[in-house]
Structure 1
Amino acid sequence: MALVDNKKDILPLSSIAELLTTKIRTLKMYEEKGLLPPKEENKKLYSIDDVKFIAFTHYLASVKKINANGIKYILEMLHTNMDEQNRDTFLDLVEKKMEQLSGIDIKDVETM
């Protein structure tokens, strides 16, 4: 039995920003550009699975310096060309790589 349902929407952007050591405004900018998973206007909570994609989006934008159109293309490829198991494996690999970067490294990149 799982303790947490990874698909249940439970986290607001403010909590995700804290987890990613970034600003809420940065995540709202991603949202405005359509880079975050779509949510109802009055219910903007995200699941653990969503956080993986948000973290990946943040990595692509802040570390790899990919623009919004490039990120949209990459996310579309993940959703259309990978089954759920391969996508999860890929995101786990990305997560491990992101863990090697400190929050300070990412903040330095954001201020450039």
Structure 2
Amino acid sequence: MALLNNDKNVLPLSSISELLNAKIRTLKMYEEKGLFPQENNKIKKLYSINDVKLIAFVHYLANIKKINANGIKYILEIINENMDEQNRNQFLEIIESKLEDVSENEIQDLESF
């Protein structure tokens, strides 16, 4: 049995949009604004499981908390500069568990607002 590699880039943005119940155009907009992980300063074609956690966090900040792109960039900069990889992953796991508590109805209500 092989172990999962959460850093391997395997998911296209269309699959992530289905996982997050988000519109692909919305995720592409975040991507174009530089809010998603990049490879060599280029937009990635595939994302890893660890990237999905960060993408979900960005989507939460933008869609639920209504923070603009500059605010999200600032938050991500603080996280990246002040946390090592282990703490960053633990933080994103905590955020992921909190996102599970946000009901689908709440998200749909916000999207129709």
The TM-score with structure 1 as length reference comes to 0.91
Shift of 1:103: 2.5
Shift of 1:93: 0.9
Partner of 2:57: 56
Partner of 1:34: 34
Structural mapping, 1:1-112, within 5 Å: 3-39=3-39, 40=42, 44-112=45-113
Gaps in structure 1 of 5+ consecutive residues: none
Moved more, 56-65 or 102-111: 102-111
- For residue 103 of structure 1, what is the amino acid of its counterpart? E
- For residue 95 of structure 2, what is the amino acid of its counterpart? V
Q: Number of paired residues? A: 111
The TM-score with structure 2 as length reference comes to 0.90
C-alpha separation in 2, matches of 1:2 and 1:36: 28
C-alpha separation in 1, matches of 2:12 and 2:83: 27
Gaps in structure 2 of 5+ consecutive residues: none
C-alpha separation in 1, matches of 2:87 and 2:62: 22
**In structure 1, the residue corresponding to 2:38 is in which secondary structure?**
coil
* Structure 1 moving runs of 4+ over 3 Å: none
C-alpha separation in 1, matches of 2:92 and 2:98: 10
Q: Provide the identity percentage.
A: 66
Kindly report the root-mean-square deviation, in angstroms, between the aligned alpha carbons of the 2 structures: 1.6
